[in-house]
Amino acid sequence: MIAVRQRRGAILPGLSAAWLAAGLGSVVAAALVALAVGPVDLGLSSIGRELLSHVPFLDVKSPMTATEDAILWQIRAPRVALGLLVGAMLASAGAAYQGVFRNPLADPYLLGAAAGAGLGATLVIAYSHGGASRDLRPLAAFVGAMVGVGAAYLLGRSVAGRTTATLILAGVTVASFLTAVQTFVQQQNTDTVQEVYAWILGQLETSGWREVALALPYMVVSWAVLLLHRRLLDVLAVGDEEASSVGVDVSRVRLIVLAAATLGTAAAVAFSGLIAFVGIIIPHAIRLVVGTSYRIVLPLSLCFGAAFLVLADVLARTVAAPAELPIGVVTAFFGAPFFALVLRTTRMVGT
């Protein structure tokens, strides 16, 4: 287990300006690449002039037709924005879960968020035929994720001598049960099975800016809470007793961080399905390369998670263009070798 002890805290009391710049820069770079590249070639200079035409006083005329404009701003840009949000959310929530549980394998789906969201989405896909299905699906997935994690938390709390291990076991129990129900519903309604699988493999599906606008408020709240608790997560990392002895209310911090991470994860899952791997590899890559303090891991997970998912989506959109690949396949296919490389080329920090 990687102890998230702050070994390099003396050298890096907080996040260095260089790494912060690298993180933010990678977000901007990834977003620009994703705007420029797609199954439809809009032309780099054309996109550049279109972007400049929105800068006041420059007097640049956009060369784009109405259709090209719609492709860029109504189809491609919202998808890039949703990718940024979901990637940032999954990576930062993953980092928070790993901190709360002091478990390197924890990811945002650990406590039943994925299973709950999966059940919610499957129920809607299977039983509400017609257009309502697509509108209700995010809500059902969101509610399912919250209910799943809530049930796991209550079950874990009700056990005597509760530890983080009991909570994880409660999560596994709830997740297995919800997955069983989900699979049952799916098998009962096999005519919709393809839609369910498409959802489970993850997709960044947007219809204009609606999804971005709906997901953003939950994620902003989640990020604010997580970032405010980054120091407390460092304290939590040394152990419950040690944290209590310096006056930290361990179970309260744990509940708040879990609730915030779950709220954001539920919003991400609602619009993107289950995108695997981002919540695990991004925080660990940062721990291996930069440092293990949550003052570093949380903000950088936000940045690099966003950049990683957007770049993965560029591949999902272009590798088989004009056909699409499920983004969950891309994140795992390219994420695993990337993480293997990080593992091999860095010394283990703090084991």
Partner 1 sequence: MLRRSPMAFVAVLFALVLAACGSSQGSLSSTSSAPASTQTSATAPERIVSLSPPATESLFAIGAGDQVVAVDDQSNYPAQAPHTKLSSYQPNVEAIADYEPDLVVISYDPTDVVKGLKKLHIPVLLQAAPADLEGAYAQIEELGDVTGHSNAAAQVVTDMKSRIAGLAEGKPGAGLTVYHEISPDFYSATSQTFIGSVYTLLGAKNIADAAGGKAPDYPQLSAEYVVDSDPDVIVLSDTKCCSQSEKTVRSRPGWDQLSAVKGGDVVPVDDDIASRWGPRIVDFAEIVAQAFQDAGT
Where on the chain is the footprint of partner 1 (CB under 8 A)? 38-40, 66-68, 70-71, 74-76, 78, 129-134, 187, 190-191, 193, 195, 198, 203, 205, 207-208, 317, 320-324
The CA–CA distances, whole Å, from 116 to 92, 144, 202, 338 equal 20, 4, 15, 29
What values do phi and psi take at 112, rounded to 5? 100, 5
Closer to partner 1 at the Cβ: 28 or 319? 319
* Residue 140 and residue 124 in contact, taking contact as beta carbons nearer than 8 Å: yes
CB of 141 to partner 1, least distance (A): 15
Closer to partner 1 at the Cβ: 287 or 317? 317
Closer to partner 1 at the Cβ: 240 or 324? 324
CB of 210 to partner 1, least distance (A): 9
Of 282, 313, 314, the residue nearest 299 (C-alpha): 282
CB of 201 to partner 1, least distance (A): 11
CB of 236 to partner 1, least distance (A): 31
Element (H, E) at 18: helix 17-36
Closer to partner 1 at the Cβ: 215 or 296? 215
CB of 117 to partner 1, least distance (A): 18
Q: Which residue has the tokens 């005329």?
A: 61
CB of 39 to partner 1, least distance (A): 4
Closer to partner 1 at the Cβ: 77 or 233? 77
- CA–CA–CA angle 165, 171, 174 (5° rounding): 145
The CA–CA distances, whole Å, from 188 to 125, 183, 184, 273 equal 12, 9, 6, 21
Q: d(Cα 253, Cα 278) in Å, to the nearest integer?
A: 24
